[in-house]
Each structure stands twice: as C-alpha cells, then as structure tokens.
Structure 1
Amino acid sequence: MGKTRLEAFSDGVIAIITIMVLEMKAPHGAEFSALWANLHLLFWLSLVPFVTGWMGENHFAQLPVALYGGVLLMAAIAYFILAQVLIHLHGRNAALAVALGSDFKGKASIVFYVLAIPLAFVSQWLALAIYALVAALWFIPDRRIENTLHD
C-alpha cells in the first residue's frame, strides 16, 4: 500500500468516526457525571499495575507499599463517588440503590486504606495484611445484590 493510499484510508476512517460521534447523543447532567465518575475510577485502576510492580521491585519497601495503598484508597473513593452518582441518576428506589444499601464494603474499604497507609511506614507487612483483608471483604459475595436481581 502506497503512502497516498494509506493517507486516503486514514482520512476516510477519521471522517466516518467523526460522523458517528456527531450522530451520537451527547450525555448531559447526571449522565455526564456518571461518565466522568467512571473515567475517574478507571484512571486509578490503571495505576494499580505500576504501583504493584514498583512494590515488587523494591521488595515491599515502606514507600511503595504506602503508595500502593494510596492508589487503592483513591480507587475506593472513586468507586464510592461512582456508586453515589449512579444512585442519584437512577433514584433511591432503583435496584442498584436497594442492592448497595448502606454500601458497607465501600465505606469500610476507605476506612481500612486510610488506616493502612500510615501503618505502612511502621510495618509494611501489617499494611499489606489490611490490603488483603479489604480484598477478602470484596471477594465474599453480597447476598443483597443477588436477592435484588432475583426480585
């Protein structure tokens, strides 16, 4: 494929994408907030591999373990924000709001991470144990969600 042919092909792809974007309904209000809240969560989750690798390369040193907790804390906060935005978008009586209830896991995660981050400078192994505890907390299925979906 020649250079001019490749340029023509890329111009065509860009034109089609532009038309598709213009035809889509742009989000507004709460829908726009949900989009940004989701992107916020995805941003923090995208940093997890980096801090995990840094923590491993430094043999679980204090600063990488604390920064790992910081990224997990920000992801937990972003999750909580996303959940609240979605509840606001769909209403307090929607299935999502009923299933989340008081969102114990979301709130407990934030509290545990806030406690574990400074603890990483005292004992990184205790901080890692708290991170594992939070992971185990999320691993346990929440029956309210299953019950809400079946109703």
Structure 2
Amino acid sequence: MKKTRFEAFSDGVLAIIITIMVLEIKVPHGERFSDLKGLIPIFLSYALSFIYIGIYWNNHHHMVSTVNKVTGGILWANLHLLFWLSLIPFATGWIGENHFAAAPMALYGAVLLMAGVAYYILQSLIIKNEGRDSLLAKAIGKDLKGKISPFLYATAIAVSWLNSIVSGIIYVIAALIWLIPDKRIESATRQNKEAGDD
C-alpha cells in the first residue's frame, strides 16, 4: 500500500470519529441560554476528547511522514490504534450523560490507555521496519512523554473510583503534556533533509 493511501484512510477515520462525537451533543428544547446548562458536562467531555483526537491526528501525521514502506504489520497495528480511538465517542458520551461518574471515567481512562499502547505498538513496528538508525527512531529518543502518559492514565483509572473530578484533572494534565508542541520529528526531518542537500 502506498503511504498516501494509508494516511488518507487514517485521516478519514479520525474525521468520522470527531463527527460522531459532535453529533452526540443534542440540541436542547428551549430558547434560553439557561437551557444549555444541562449540556455543560457533555460539552466539556467533548472538548477534552476533541483535543485527544487532535493530538493523535497530529502525532500520527508526523510519524507517518517518516515511513518509507507500509507493511502488513504496520497496517494491522494502525487498525488496532484506530479501533481504540473509535471507542472514544462512546466513552465520551457516557461521561457526559452521567456527569463524570466513576465507572464512565474509568472506562474513558481504559480507552485512552489502550490507545496509548496501540500507538506505541505502531511506533515500534515502524521503527523495526525502518531500522534503529531511522529518522523516527532518532526523533523519538527516550520518549519521555510516551512513558509518562500510561502511568497518568492508570493513575486516573484508579483515582476515578475515589474522586472522578481528580481523575478528570489527570486526563487534562496528560492532554496538556501532549498539547505542548513536540518538534522532535519535525526537527529530525529538517536535519535529515539538510544533510541530504549537502
């Protein structure tokens, strides 16, 4: 499979995931701003999930830009990632409808944790396929963010049974860690291109 088709398929699935999430926000019966009050938990859960999907889309795009050859293993690993990401709208809707209750918050964390694991598997397969001296391997380095995130998700899952709001704060912190622009792959790509031009 050509890399462009692989990336286009992934982009399309992520776009559908976002569309499904926004369609879950039902228009209230009423014409006053006060009628929107009941939608606040739903909107907050949507906003957080939108940010997470955006983070995955951004990082997936940069990661795929380093790929020279798409193998069958990479295709299946990518589908594995998309499977977990496709569950985010369900978990998001459950959170919003139940005002950040413990079980929905735990499920949300489990989905995020598994998506993180799936992303790591995809990243590892690409590095294995491209080689330890590949552009992606050099750009990832020690991958501190990738190691911190699963710990945060697991912590948030455990905490959700004690205090679901604190659990939500941990999910926000994990998102903020990734929201800060990560220039590793962009920098490695630029350096590789400059080295090739010399």
Global fold match (TM > 0.5): yes
**Separation of aligned partners in 1, 2:128 and 2:75:** 13
TM-score for both structures, normalised by structure 2? 0.60
Match of 1:40 in 2: 80
The DSSP-based 3-state class of the residue aligned with 2:93 is helix
Larger radius of gyration: 1
In structure 2, what residue type is equivalent to 1:101?
G
**Separation of aligned partners in 1, 2:108 and 2:71:** 31
CA RMSD of aligned residues (A): 1.1
Paired residues for 1:2-151 under 5 Å: 31-151=71-191
**Separation of aligned partners in 2, 1:89 and 1:107:** 22
**Separation of aligned partners in 2, 1:56 and 1:120:** 15
- Pairwise CA distance, 1:111: 1.0
Conserved 8 A contact 1:79-1:106: no
- Pairwise CA distance, 1:102: 1.5
**Separation of aligned partners in 2, 1:106 and 1:82:** 13
In structure 1, what residue type is equivalent to 2:163?
S
In structure 2, what residue type is equivalent to 1:56?
G
**Separation of aligned partners in 2, 1:85 and 1:134:** 24
C-alpha offsets along residues 89-132 of structure 1, whole Å, 9 cap, x if unaligned?
10111111111111211111111111110100001111111111
**Separation of aligned partners in 2, 1:85 and 1:147:** 22
Q: Give percent identity, aligned residues only.
A: 52
- Pairwise CA distance, 1:144: 2.1
Number of residues of Structure 1 aligned to a counterpart in Structure 2: 122
**Separation of aligned partners in 1, 2:183 and 2:79:** 28
The DSSP-based 3-state class of the residue aligned with 1:60 is coil
Conserved 8 A contact 1:112-1:134: yes
C-alpha offsets along residues 13-33 of structure 1, whole Å, 9 cap, x if unaligned?
xxxxxxxxxxxxxxxxx8221
In structure 2, what residue type is equivalent to 1:69?
G
Q: Which runs of 5+ in 2 are unaligned?
A: 1-69, 192-198
TM-score for both structures, normalised by structure 1? 0.78
In structure 2, what residue type is equivalent to 1:108?
I
Match of 2:10 in 1: none
The DSSP-based 3-state class of the residue aligned with 1:85 is helix
Conserved 8 A contact 1:44-1:71: yes
